[in-house]
Amino acid sequence: MPKERGEKVVATNRRARHDYLIEDTYEAGIVLSGTEVKSLRQGRASLVDGYAFIDGGEAWLDAVHIPEYTEGTWNNHAPRRKRKLLLHKQQIVKISHKTKEGGYTLVPLQIYFSDGRAKVEIAVAKGKREHDKRQALRERQDRREAERAISTRGHLGE
């Protein structure tokens, strides 16, 4: 069987970029059981409530919902179990120092397959305040209106 090539995104956490200011991102492997991998290959996962944390020098991913594999038997996995993340020791130490500073948290941004291996992109992020969210929304709307005005002006000039 030929080895898979490229990236296939399974799930993204669109809410994370709205609720948090992203500082750094890291790519980590995930320790999964067989039925979890099969369920991910079907494109079924949810990062909505997920978060990551450092405990005892190891990185963990919690509250990420990977539903049970439909073809699985009695040995199916628990949908919201704690999963170990595979990171280099230096990365874990760096992330640990950053999160202990206060105000920072680890948020999963997306789960994907890279050359056939399941990966998760986690971010060291700081929570946005309500006025920051409104400001970002206002900037996005202003940019859209400007682009719309430019495109309609281009259509009128023809």
- Tell me how far apart the alpha carbons of residues 94 and 154 are, in angstroms, rounded to a whole number: 49
Residue-level pLDDT at 2 = 58
**54-76 pLDDT, tens digit each:** 999 999 999 999 998 877 767 78
**79-99 pLDDT, tens digit each:** 788 999 999 999 999 999 999
Residue-level pLDDT at 75 = 75
Residue-level pLDDT at 156 = 66
H or E element at residue 96: helix 89-100
Structural contact between residues 67 and 39, judged by C-beta atoms closer than 8 angstroms: yes
